[in-house]
Chain A
C-alpha cells in the first residue's frame, strides 16, 4: 500500500494505492489520524485501491468519528466498483460523505 498526501487549499488530499487489509490498515489509520490533527478537511481518494477489507472500513469509520469529535470534515471520493461492493456489504456507505470526483469532494463544505 502506498499513501501520498498533498494540499488543496486548507484541505489535505490523501491518495491510497494498493491493498488495504489487516496488514496495512494500521499504517493508513496512523496516517489519517495524524493528518486530521493538522487540517480542517481531509479528502481520501480511493480510486487506486485494489482491495479493502473490513479492517480498512473500520479504520475509515474510526477516522470519521474522530473528525466529527474534532469538528472537522472527512470525505471520500473515487470509489471503484470493487471498493463500492465492500461498502455495500458492510452497509456503511450512507454513513460517509462520498463523492465521485476530487472537485466535488473539495466543494462539499
Chain B
C-alpha cells in the first residue's frame, strides 16, 4: 500500500475479519485491528512524514501460535528512544499508539535492515486482551 491514510480503512477492513476467522472474539479482533492500524499510522507519520507516496508492505502470517504481522517501509528509521517514551495515563496527546501496540500484541520488534525498516508483531491465541 502507499503511505496514504485513505488506505487505512481498507486494511482495517481486512485485519478485523482475518483475526475473527482465526478465532479471536470481537473485542480481541478490534484490538488487533487497532494495534496494526496504529503501526501503519506511525509509519505514515514518522517514517514518511505524511508524504503519500511512500511504500508499505504488509504481511500477515498465521503461525501455530497465532498471528504474525510484518510491516516493511523505506522511510526514516524509527527513533527507538521515542518508542513508548512517554508514560501513559497522562493528559498529553501523542505517543499513545506505541503503547496500544505494546499492550495488545505479545511481541513487538523494530529493526533497520538493508531492505528498510522492519516492524514485526505477534499475537498468540491464548492471551486475553
Contacts and interface: CB of A to CB of B under 8 A. Distances in A.
Interface of A: 19, 21-24, 51, 53-55, 57-59, 61-62, 64-65, 81-82, 85-86, 89-92, 95
Contact of B34 (A62, A65, A86, A95): A86
B8 A61 contact: no
Nearest to A18: B9
Given A85-B30, A89-B100, 6 more contacts: A21-B5, A53-B38, A53-B41, A54-B38, A57-B93, A85-B27
A61 B92 contact: yes
Contacts of A91: 88-89, 99
Nearest to B96: A54
Interface string B30-71: 110010011001001100000000000000000000000000
Contacts of A58: 93-94, 96
Nearest to B40: A22
A55 B110 CA distance: 21
Nearest to A57: B96
A89 B41 contact: no
A53 B15 CA distance: 15
Nearest to A93: B89
A64 B91 CA distance: 9
Chain B's interface size range is: 20 to 34
30 contacts: A19-B9, A19-B12, A21-B9, A21-B37, A21-B41, A22-B8, A23-B8, A51-B9, A51-B12, A53-B37, A53-B97, A54-B96, A54-B100, A57-B96, A58-B93, A61-B91, A61-B93, A81-B27, A85-B27, A85-B30, A86-B34, A89-B31, A89-B34, A89-B103, A90-B88, A90-B96, A90-B100, A91-B88, A91-B99, A92-B89
Contact of A55 (B30, B41, B88, B104): B41
- Identify the 5 closest CB pairs spanning chains A and B, nearest first: A23-B5, A58-B93, A54-B96, A91-B89, A54-B97
B6 interface: yes
A21 B93 contact: no
Nearest to B93: A58
A22 B41 contact: yes
B104 to A, nearest CB: 7
A59 B93 CA distance: 7
